Structure 1
Amino acid sequence: MSDDRIVVLDDAPTIDGLIFRYFRDEQDFAALVAVIEACQEYDQVDPLSSEAGLPTVEELSQSFSEADNIDLDTDMLLVELNGQVIGFQWVRWWEQADGTWVYYHRGRVVPDWREHGIGAATLKWAEKRIRERVAGHGSAGKAVYRANTTSHEAAYNQLLLESGYVPVHSFVEMGFDPDVPLPEKKMPEGFALKPAGVEDYRAIWEANEEAFEEEWGHRRATDEDYIVFLGNIVGNPGFDPSLWQVAWRDEAIAGVALCEITPRGVGEISELSVRQQWRNHGLGRALLISALHALRLRGVEPIRIFTDVDNARRLYESVGFRALTDYIRYQKPVQ
């Protein structure tokens, strides 16, 4: 291996055969997947989750190729022990609608090599790399470190807390109970469901973005984000616009429930939103029930949804969803 890919960490533990290096090439994605698989039982990684499940090598490669604001040559660190990858850490960044610059990092270490100081060392590397990015971006004073974890990752949660991070937000992944009978499908008076045509995609995306513009951590949408939306949703092999539930009020989109079938056969309600002026009419519940009917009609099982709003969680529970995994977002200011 070229010495210019090896990284010397001041806080690295002294372990024979342990090295840290930058991302090398596409073959490293297989090593990253192997690390995640090694963590599956210990961290209760849900293989069906689209948020933090078990990606294939192809899926992981695609997700990084589509990710903006990350340079794999310098923003991805791998941990090797005697030639085998046993951990990783990577960083990326974005600017929120409120002007906050978020510098996100994520790492894992296989269970057999935890409690040896490896995770702490890679965390410090991530923070150092982020400070370099902050200096280059001129975002000092409005930059934060951010890390996400699940409620099942006790050691990682503890490491973040000991490193000065505080939980600032959480959301939950929920699964629909197949034994619960579906309520009747019915739209509130004055609203109508219409099929989504290609000519409606931009308006559907804009309506959904508008509905979430005041939510925590919302990122200012751009034309590039619409292109990503098309790639992630419309370009998904499980994309089927007949599963989309789009509620109209006269000539305007009032709310949407965007459903898809993931590569693992999971029916996912990836977006459920109602625009501000048409809330408190029961439209969100009606769209949710309509989405469940559409997925059930296809024989799709299981069905998943995510939420970070207590009111939404109570709504989902009322029709038969149950909590599966809590995701915690940690943060601290970049000094």
Structure 2
Amino acid sequence: MTSHPAPDERPGTDAEAAAREFTAHRPRLFGIAYRMLGSAAEAEDTVQDAYLRWSDADRTELVHPGAWLAKVVTRLCLNRLTSARATRERYTGPWLPEPVLTAGGGLPGAPGTGPLEAAERRDEVSTALLLLLERLTPAERAVYVLREAFGYPHREIAGLLDLGEANCRQLYGRAARRVAGPGDDGAAARFDPPAPERHREFVESFVAAAREGDLAGLEKVLAADVVWWGDGGGKVRSALRPVRGRDHVLRFLAGVARRTEEGARLTVVEVNGAPGVVLHVGARVLGVASVDVRPDGLVTDVRMVMNPDKLGYAARQFAAYPESGA
């Protein structure tokens, strides 16, 4: 009679259990890393690095795996932020966060962005907020993200960062003041957004006019002080400085329309928690834009990422859309 090992003695069982455990925490880990780094690609790399450490760890000693993993990811992000700052100082043109598509909290089959299911949480991953977080030191950013986006108590944050609780409270207070303060970085939302349904309608109107090359229609939906931010990263042609004012933006868009690849389309999707736009030829994504809209329907800011190095994650997500033609 052939004997079989007990379930917990079967080859590979421990590794499989560890993988399942890690998978359960993965959305939260990605959410922390993306908010910390402003880059989906770097967030994926960070989570993968955390998995390698998880695989090598003595997990019998881990009482709270989720806290251990959050600490690992946070520390990895702090290390990456140090070098990221120097890189962004040398960046060609405006730097914008790498976009993610967030419909319903994450597309089926695509990695999620953390707990975004509730509408009231989606502003925590907005392009505007991610830009505001760029004002913070790495430590301030870590404390702010863990507290605001994930609700960690200060005592737990102190343990994750190996800091004193009082120090964490000071870092959080300083971060909150810097995020709320004025700036000329295109980060602060100038108005509260309209209700989600109306927001999408306004973005649809903007896109409809842009699709038709209807400059008169665009003039009606752009605020007088609208700003266009373009991130080409020196890889594709884009404005090297923000384009400010309705007349300047209209002229800029007219020039963009003449240069845009034949067959390109604009599709409205949810970008970083709010209605935005994907510029694409079939399933090939050329750009992703977030669009800020006033309650009266006028567009105040458009932030278009066209740097191909920043579009891989969103392109994989967009391939799941019927409109992509994939």
TM-score, normalized by length of structure 2? Answer: 0.26
**Higher normalized strand content (fraction of residues):** 1
Q: What TM-score, normalized by structure 1, do the two folds share? A: 0.25
**Could you say which structure has the higher helix fraction?**
2
